[in-house]
Amino acid sequence: MSHARPALRRPEARLALALALVAAAAVFVAVFVFGRANTPDYTATLFGQAGADAVRLKAQLATGVLGMAAVQLLLALWMYRRLPGVRRVPGPVPITHRIAGVVLFALTVPIAVHCVQAYGVQLSGSRVAVHSIAGCFFYGAFAAKVLLVQSRRLPGWALPLAGGALVVVVVVLWYTSALWHFNGDSVPVLSLAYQHLPPGQM
């Protein structure tokens, strides 16, 4: 009898994975549909800032999110003993990882609210489309991660996969928004396509 991946044969593990996938898909679809139905209001403000000032503030917040994602990745590698030379995990590391995750999520909320209010989900132009879809995927993946964290009977790859997906999507979001702003409304590969948004806005 094979003993490979025994966790996958447990009903609790299968149920936890199924619920996480359903939650991720439901949140993704909900955010996507809401964003597509929204009428863009390019005058929407972010902490009192509008237009180019709001874009600059969002780019700064997004860079903060990227930094927190890097911290989360390092803490996760530490917890899983994947950092070179690390053999022990001090007690504060897991709780710091959780706190950093909450801070990361909180930083994304004002950015997402402004994006939805000002632009909604737009698919015209490669950069805008990638950014919009990645934004929807982020909240779906985050919902899945929250559910997976509550389960104690998961296969070993589940949480690292969910956490890794969140880090990757944060990088994609930063690349298609903050870097685009800092780089003069241009990023490699995705700046050649037609952009539907007014100049200087994201």
pLDDT tens digit at each of 202 positions of the chain: 444 444 445 677 788 888 889 999 999 999 999 999 999 999 999 998 888 899 999 999 999 999 999 999 999 999 888 888 878 888 899 999 999 999 999 999 999 999 999 999 999 888 999 999 999 999 999 999 888 887 777 777 888 888 899 999 999 999 999 999 999 887 877 654 434 445 444 5
Answer for the pair 35, 116: CB distance below 8 angstroms, yes or no. Answer: yes
Answer for the pair 159, 120: CB distance below 8 angstroms, yes or no. Answer: no
pLDDT on residue 117: 92
Answer for the pair 55, 176: CB distance below 8 angstroms, yes or no. Answer: no
pLDDT on residue 59: 95
Cβ-based neighbours of 185, under 8 Å, separated by 6 or more: 191, 199, 200
31 phi, psi to nearest 5 deg: -65, -40
pTM for the structure as a whole:
0.83
The 10 Å CB-count burial string (b at 16+, else e) for 17-45 is beebeebbeebbeebbeebeebebeeebe
